[in-house]
Amino acid sequence: MNIDSKLLEIIVCPDCRAGLEPQGEELVCLGCGLAYPVRDDIPVLLVDEARRPG
């Protein structure tokens, strides 16, 4: 995954507004734990596309 670090500083989880952390090919919310896919280095920040924790 190749996402600009400045972009990672400003994007947030659309569900709870917490920060996101890269993990593998996903961005994982530091608040609610939703994991958002990254496709072709583009974060897909749609709650319906996110993987629920657990």
The residue type of 34 is: L
Looking at residue 1, its pLDDT comes to: 81
Domains of the chain and any CATH numbers: 5-49 (2.20.25.10)
d(CA 30, CA 12): 9
The pLDDT-based confidence of 15 (bands split at 50, 70, 90) is: very high
Strand partners of residue 23:
26
Question: Once rounded to an integer, what is the mean pLDDT over residues 1-25?
Answer: 94
Q: What is the pTM of this model?
A: 0.91
What's the per-residue H, E or C state across 3-51?
A: CCHHHHHHCECCCCCCEEEEECCEEEECCCCCEEEEECCEECCCHHHCE
What is residue 32's predicted lDDT score, i.e. its pLDDT?
Answer: 97
Q: Give yes or no for residue 47 having a pLDDT over 90.
A: yes
